[in-house]
Amino acid sequence: MQVRQSAGLNQPQLKALRKLSDICQRKDGGKLRIYWNIIRKKRYIPGDFLVVSDRKLIAYLGIFIFNDGEAEVTALVNPKYRRKGIFKELLKRGKGLVRPLGAKKLVFCCPHKVPAAMACLKKSGATHRHSEYDMLWRNNTELDYTEKPDFSKRFATIDDLEAMVDMDVACFHATHEKVNFHFSNNFKESNREAWMLYHNEDIVGKIHFRYDEDAAFIHNVCIKPELQGKGYGSYFLKQALNYLISNDHKRIRLDVEAVNEGALSLYKRLGFAPTQIYEFWEMPI
């Protein structure tokens, strides 16, 4: 067996990873979240580890830094090669990569109720963090709504960074440092954009978009806590969905924490349906 490390994958490697993902899904019953939009391009860190045996990809570990102080891990091992210490070795290498970059915590995202993943994470000392629904829009036709002249939006710029960070901190109880790190990097990526939302001259919230190869992804939807329940979220999300449809995006996705019952109910009313539940686990480095 050989362990190869790279900063992004080429087309043959991507094809081999898709095949490995399909093998693991058939065995485990859940589909792992893989950041295809990131790994198909040159990365700024060599965060892709591939294990090859007899010229076949048998394991993969990808490590991603989305937030200051933590790194997210994606890992797959062919069922025939499990319980051989492969994951443990890849995890060791991943920690060695991100520790000098200031990461103090690893985060794992795995499909709901996959026994092999649960057992492996518990054995590695990880603890459960939260659950998320991955949701897909089932409508695909423009939504009706009444235009409100006192409601408006515009595309966000880097000058809006501080206001965007403050809203996320207030809405999601995140730390300022983590959100600032994440959004600062988002502005550097060409496949992202965001709206600032207004009622008259006052900012009421924001909506982010990411354009992947297979879907448009709505994320970090935020209405200021003191203004929630006044119809802003529903109104601007309908505009967002119509905007994406008018720009020929056929698949629209988002995710939401399972405990956020208000947002979950709103997304279902707009035509989103859960397709997968993901469990997030974490461990200190």
Residue-level pLDDT at 253: 96
pLDDT digit string, tens, across residues 128-156: 999 999 999 998 788 988 889 999 999 99
Residue-level pLDDT at 81: 96
Residues written for the chain: 285
Residue-level pLDDT at 193: 97
Cα–Cα distance measured from residue 4 to residue 19, given in angstroms and rounded to the nearest whole number:
18
Q: How confident is the model at residue 15 (pLDDT cuts 50, 70, 90)?
A: very high
Residue-level pLDDT at 215: 92
pLDDT higher than 90, residue 250:
no
**Span 49-70, mean pLDDT?**
94
Task: Tell me if 105 sits within 8 A of 284, measured CB to CB.
Answer: yes
How far are the Cα atoms of 32, 60, 90, 266, 283 from residue 84, in angstroms, in the given order?
A: 21, 14, 12, 45, 21
Q: How confident is the model at residue 115 (pLDDT cuts 50, 70, 90)?
A: confident
Residue whose C-alpha is closest to residue 208's, from 279, 262, 160: 160
pLDDT higher than 90, residue 194:
yes
The pTM assigned to this predicted structure is: 0.84
pLDDT higher than 90, residue 56:
yes
**Span 45-66, mean pLDDT?**
96
% of the chain residues with pLDDT over 90: 76
Residue-level pLDDT at 205: 97
What 3-state DSSP class applies to 253? strand
Cα–Cα distance measured from residue 218 to residue 212, given in angstroms and rounded to the nearest whole number:
11
Residue-level pLDDT at 66: 86
Q: How confident is the model at residue 239 (pLDDT cuts 50, 70, 90)?
A: very high
CATH of domain 141-249: 3.40.630.30
Burial annotation 180-199 (CB, 10 A radius, 16+ → b, else e) = bbbbeebeeeeebebbbbbb
Residue-level pLDDT at 71: 95
**Span 87-96, mean pLDDT?**
96
pLDDT higher than 90, residue 73:
yes
How far are the Cα atoms of 129, 172, 263 from residue 259, in angstroms, in the given order?
A: 12, 12, 9
Per the listing, tokens 């860190």 go with 45
Residue-level pLDDT at 1: 84
Q: Where are the domains of the chain?
A: 2-131, 141-249
Least confident stretch, 166-180, 214-228, 243-257: 166-180
Task: Tell me if 198 sits within 8 A of 243, measured CB to CB.
Answer: no
> In 145-269, where does DSSP find H-type helix?
161-172, 176-186, 232-246, 261-269
Residue whose C-alpha is closest to residue 196's, from 226, 230, 228, 239: 239
Q: How confident is the model at residue 22 (pLDDT cuts 50, 70, 90)?
A: very high
What 3-state DSSP class applies to 167? helix
pLDDT higher than 90, residue 213:
no
Residue-level pLDDT at 200: 95
**Span 81-90, mean pLDDT?**
94
> In 68-175, where does DSSP find H-type helix?
86-98, 115-123, 161-172
**Span 263-285, mean pLDDT?**
93
How distant is the alpha carbon of residue 155 from its chain centre? 21
Residue-level pLDDT at 50: 98
What 3-state DSSP class applies to 20? helix
Beta strands across the sheet bearing 56-67: 2-6, 48-53, 56-67, 70-77, 105-111, 272-284, 127-137, 252-257, 216-223, 202-211, 192-199, 151-155
The domain made up of 2-131 is a member of CATH 3.40.1440.10: no
- Fold agreement (2-131, 141-249): yes
How distant is the alpha carbon of residue 73 from its chain centre? 12
Residue-level pLDDT at 244: 96
Phi-psi region of 34 (alpha: psi -120 to 50; beta: other; left: phi over 0): beta
